[in-house]
């Protein structure tokens, strides 16, 4: 029943589904063209999530503060 309520809420869908997917796609679309010439395709695909995680590390610090 809770899932039905969540799926009907446009803000929940935006925050929990659409935003993470588009953020990940845009981040990879911007990072991979810069990483591939430096590292090659394989290492770039493996390193890209590490940069994504480091870019969002401030969320962990924010949670620890509050």
Q: How many domains does the chain have?
A: 1
**pLDDT score recorded for residue 52:** 85
In this structure, is the dihedral angle defined by the CA atoms of residues 36, 37, 41 and 47, taken in order, positive or negative? negative
**Whole-prediction pTM:** 0.59
The single residue of 23, 24, 58, 59 carrying the catalytic annotation is 23
Q: Check if 59 is active-site.
A: no
Residue in 12, 6, 20 with CA at minimum distance from that of residue 28: 20
The single residue of 24, 56, 58, 62 carrying the catalytic annotation is 56
Q: Is residue 28 a contact partner of residue 41, using CB atoms and an 8 Å limit?
A: no
Q: What phi and psi, each to the nearest 5 degrees, are found at residue 9?
A: -95, 115
Q: What is the mean pLDDT of residues 4-18?
A: 88
39: Cβ contacts below 8 Å, ≥ 6 apart = 47
- For 32-62, the pLDDT digits (tens) are 999 999 999 999 999 988 888 888 888 889 8
Range of the domain at 39: 1-65
**pLDDT score recorded for residue 42:** 94
Q: Check if 23 is active-site.
A: yes
């Amino acid at each position: 029943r809770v899932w039905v309520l969540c799926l009907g809420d446009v803000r929940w869908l935006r925050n929990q589904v659409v935003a993470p997917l588009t953020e990940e796609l845009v981040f990879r679309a911007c990072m991979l063209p810069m990483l591939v010439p430096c590292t090659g395709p394989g290492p770039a695909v493996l390193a890209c999530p590490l940069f994504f995680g480091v870019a969002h590390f401030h969320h962990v610090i924010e949670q620890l503060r509050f």
